[in-house]
């Protein structure tokens, strides 16, 4: 029991669970065979018409679906390395909340501003970037955090610029995940590093909720206008 407790406390358990779950679902996709677009829709891709029809779970399921080996490989690398960093700073359950709620935030923004069907953990991966930027903004006086934040900020900007010049990438999902991760990290706080002012946490929570409501309203309006 003591070993299990130490493993739970010291290892990036939640990162391993999320990565294992993502890879496991991809293997199921691979076993199901061809007809990728139709299969993605069946398994739960972000599909605006289906969401309006009542399938709200499609804000969550796209986080765990991928279109191909390259797609999942790129996201798996980010999940692993960023997940370890965020889990060490925020803890197991806060990492899970940032990952899932940030991914949902990305899919909500995509629902509002993009008509395309989409899948991928990129929304959640960008939420991890957002959480790290929140730590950098809140604890800028720490030289180690400041240095790491500068590197991750550059990596985030490079990824967004790459999105602008690439086809088939849901940039709104990435932006939504990034902003969502930033706000969710403020909302949850980082007790392992230091205290976040209560006012900042309250404001972040209010902004997140209002943003979700506004984006959902836009998304439902846009779909109804095109039907």
Q: Check residue 95 and give its pLDDT.
A: 97
Give the distance from CA 61 to its chain's centroid. Answer: 12
Rounded CA separation 172/118 (Å) = 11
Q: Over the stretch 140-192, which tens digit does the pLDDT of each residue have?
A: 888 888 777 777 777 777 777 776 666 678 889 999 999 999 999 999 999 88
Please identify which of the residues 66, 138, 174, 211 carries the catalytic annotation.
174
CATH number at residue 143: 1.20.1540.10
Q: Check residue 125 and give its pLDDT.
A: 93
Q: Check residue 71 and give its pLDDT.
A: 85
Q: Is the dihedral of CA 53, 56, 57, 58 positive or negative?
A: positive
What token pair was written down for 121?
């953990």
For residue 156, which phi and psi values (nearest 5 degrees)? -65, -45
Q: If DSSP codes are grouped into helix, strand and coil, which group holds residue 194?
A: strand
Per-residue pLDDT at 70 exceeds 70: yes
Q: Check residue 2 and give its pLDDT.
A: 55
Q: How many CB atoms lie within 10 A of CB 10?
A: 9
Q: Over the stretch 34-57, which tens digit does the pLDDT of each residue have?
A: 657 778 888 899 999 999 999 999
Strand partners, 190: 194
Q: Over the stretch 179-198, which tens digit does the pLDDT of each residue have?
A: 999 999 999 999 889 899 99
Question: Would you call 122 a catalytic residue per the annotation?
Answer: yes
pTM: 0.90
Please identify which of the residues 105, 114, 118, 122 carries the catalytic annotation.
122
Domain carrying residue 36: 2-226
* Number of separate domains in the chain: 1
């Amino acid at each position: 029991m003591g070993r299990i407790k130490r493993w739970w406390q010291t290892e990036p358990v939640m990162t391993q669970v999320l990565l294992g779950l993502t890879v496991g679902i991809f293997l199921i996709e691979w076993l199901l065979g061809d007809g990728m677009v139709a299969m993605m829709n069946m398994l739960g891709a972000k599909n605006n018409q289906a969401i309006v029809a009542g399938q709200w779970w499609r804000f969550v399921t796209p986080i765990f679906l991928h279109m191909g080996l390259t797609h999942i490989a790129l996201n798996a690398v980010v999940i692993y390395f960023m997940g370890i960093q965020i889990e060490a700073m925020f803890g197991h359950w806060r990492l899970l909340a940032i990952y899932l709620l940030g991914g949902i935030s990305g899919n909500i923004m995509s629902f509002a501003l993009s008509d395309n069907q989409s899948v991928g953990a990129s929304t959640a991966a960008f939420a991890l970037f957002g959480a790290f930027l929140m730590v950098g903004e809140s604890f800028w006086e720490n030289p180690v955090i400041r240095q790491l934040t500068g590197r991750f900020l550059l990596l985030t900007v490079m990824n967004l610029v790459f999105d602008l010049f690439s086809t088939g990438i849901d940039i709104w999902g990435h932006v939504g995940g990034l902003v969502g991760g930033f706000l969710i990290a403020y909302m949850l706080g980082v007790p392992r590093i230091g205290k976040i002012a209560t006012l900042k946490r309250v404001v972040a929570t209010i902004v997140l909720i209002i943003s979700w409501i506004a984006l959902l309203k836009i998304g439902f309006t846009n779909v109804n206008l095109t039907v």
